[in-house]
Amino acid sequence: MRVLVTGATGFVGSRLVPALLAADHEVVALTRDADGYDGPAEDVREGDILDPGSFEGALDGIEAAYYLIHSMDSGTGFAARDRKAAHNFQRAASEAGVSRVLYLGGLGETRERLSEHLQSRREVETILEKGSFDLTTLRAAIIIGNGSSSFAMVEQLVHRLPVMVTPTWVRTECQPIAIADVVSYLVGVLDVPETAADTYEIGGPEVLSYQELLRRTAAVAGRSLHIVPVPVLSPQLSAYWVDLVTSVPKSVAHPLILGLKNRVVVTDTRIEELLPIERTEFETAVERALGVAAEPAPERPAERARAD
């Protein structure tokens, strides 16, 4: 299948391209800087989803497209940019006759008040649903891997703070997932026709509180960590001390920190029946993210099917 990957040089896209090639798909990589692309895709197109007229040609002959665009690293106003980009892409993909679009969104219960970051992910999903193509959405929580902004905050915090004074959000539950598993699901749903025009939730094998996530990451890194939850410390204040301790840009760190108040856990497990992959254990995912263990080579999702 001829497939377009937007955000082909990003954290997810750079891993998705070789996995799609390994699954015998013909891949077109879309990036804002074609000259700087050093990935395995042979067909590389330059364009900016925020700039109509610059990217539409990359959709010619495309059967399926992965939408992996977000604008948090561009500073404040990211939600408006994300809406604009989604509208631009939805119109262009519809006009080009793309059959399927696959989108990686975020977990979070809509009955709760979602953070701006999670609400933006849901808005993009709603915009893409209005296209003439079949939209497959995969919703994930924190993705564990080298290059993940969320995990970069975790890693730097446990390396630089032996004692951590935190707000009560550290007791909020999440379901972290390894980047290798995310890629397997993204590739896998493309080859399962019944996943077209549907939404699925993906997560790792364990549900953890953020406190557990921090402590277990510290243990893998060989660090000692003491966490002291303080009720009067709000997520907003936490975002500012994260600025002082980590190198994650404020424009990225603040929306992510404010999103920690939302419980992000899988409640719909249908994907496990459709794509029964062997999910990566949390410690293994962290070892790979820290460079202690190597990331697995790209393989077909069927080859990662768990033994019954």
| pLDDT (tens digit per residue) in 22-47 | 999 999 999 999 999 999 999 999 99
Looking at the domain assignment, is residue 301 inside a domain? no
The pair of structure tokens assigned to 213 is 């996530």
Looking at the domain assignment, is residue 308 inside a domain? no
Looking at the domain assignment, is residue 173 inside a domain? yes
Q: Residue 308 pLDDT > 70, yes or no?
A: no
CB atoms within 10 A of CB 76: 12
DSSP H helical ranges for 177-299:
179-190, 210-220, 235-245, 250-258, 270-274, 282-289
Q: What is the mean pLDDT of the chain?
A: 89
Q: Which residues contact 51 (CB under 8 A, 6 or more apart)?
A: none
| pLDDT (tens digit per residue) in 71-109 | 656 556 888 999 999 999 999 999 999 999 999 999 987
Q: Domain of 41?
A: 2-290
Looking at residue 196, the DSSP 8-state letter turns out to be T
| pLDDT (tens digit per residue) in 213-226 | 999 999 999 998 88
| pLDDT (tens digit per residue) in 174-193 | 999 999 999 999 999 999 99
Looking at residue 307, the DSSP 8-state letter turns out to be P
Q: Based on the number of CB atoms within 10 Å of its own CB, is 51 exposed (0-12), middle (13-18) or buried (19 or more)?
A: exposed
CA distance 215 to 50: 40
Question: For position 82, which CATH number holds?
Answer: 3.40.50.720
Q: Residue 300 pLDDT > 70, yes or no?
A: no
Looking at the domain assignment, is residue 198 inside a domain? yes
Mean pLDDT over 146-167 rounds to: 86
Looking at the domain assignment, is residue 90 inside a domain? yes
Looking at the domain assignment, is residue 42 inside a domain? yes
| pLDDT (tens digit per residue) in 97-142 | 999 999 999 998 765 677 777 888 899 999 999 999 999 999 999 9
**Number of domains comprising the chain:** 1
Could you tell me the CA-to-CA distances from 138 to 30, 170, 212, 228 in Å, in that order? 20, 25, 25, 34
Greater confidence (166 vs 58) lies with 58
Looking at the domain assignment, is residue 13 inside a domain? yes
Looking at the domain assignment, is residue 305 inside a domain? no
**The three-state (H, E, C) secondary structure of 289-300, written as one string:** HCCCCCCCCCCC
Tell me which amino acid residue 274 is. Answer: L
Q: Residue 153 pLDDT > 50, yes or no?
A: yes
Give me the DSSP letters along 43-109: EEEE--TTSTTSSGGGGTT-SEEEE----GGG-S-HHHHHHHHHHHHHHHHHHHT--EEEEEEE---
Greater confidence (304 vs 157) lies with 157
